[in-house]
Amino acid sequence: MPHSLHEPPGERERSTGLDAADAAESEDFKPLTAEQAGEWRTRQPQTSVWSVVRWQVVLLLLGSVLVVPFALVWGQPAWVVSVFYGGLCVLLPTALMAYGLTASHWAQRRKRQAGQSAGAVMAGVFFWEGVKILLAVAMLALAPRLIPDLSWLGLLLGLVLVLKAYGLAFWLRSRAAT
């Protein structure tokens, strides 16, 4: 129910404040010490963004090679090119974003300025994510012009297969943690 202007102030505070369970939980919260936080970080598996890019390359090549026999049997060489290009629509933008976040001039400057605010880091991530999305959309829009006899199903297959590299890298990282 919306708050009215005629409601007493105490009533408004009670209706929007913490309930008893949340209040008790927040009282039990104890921040970690620097040593405890460091220990927690060492237990967490680290995955480089470049490992995702490497898995994308592997899946792109594997998917393209697996389509070759079908393309030969049915006489559709455009299928192989379509699968490959669909995978490139994911791989190239991801690689560009990885470069932007790890090796670009912005990333090098960020490493030198260890005390940079979290907001500046997030702005960089959002910028590179925007570049990644725009490049992927542009590549998909150009697909019919660049590939004669484009197979949309093949393009979609390559796109989805290479996107699965994110899940594969996550799964491998979680297995390494156990």
Condensed to tens digits (0 to 9), the pLDDT of residues 24-70 reads 566 677 888 888 877 877 777 667 788 899 999 999 999 999 999 99
Q: What is the pLDDT, as a whole number, of residue 105? A: 80
Q: How far apart are CA 48 and CA 54, in angstroms?
A: 10
The structure's pTM equals 0.71
For 133-175, how does the pLDDT look when each residue is reduced to its tens digit (9 = 90+)? 999 999 999 999 999 999 999 999 999 999 998 888 888 877 7
Q: What is the pLDDT, as a whole number, of residue 15? A: 47
Stronger pLDDT, 79 or 113, i.e. the higher one? 79
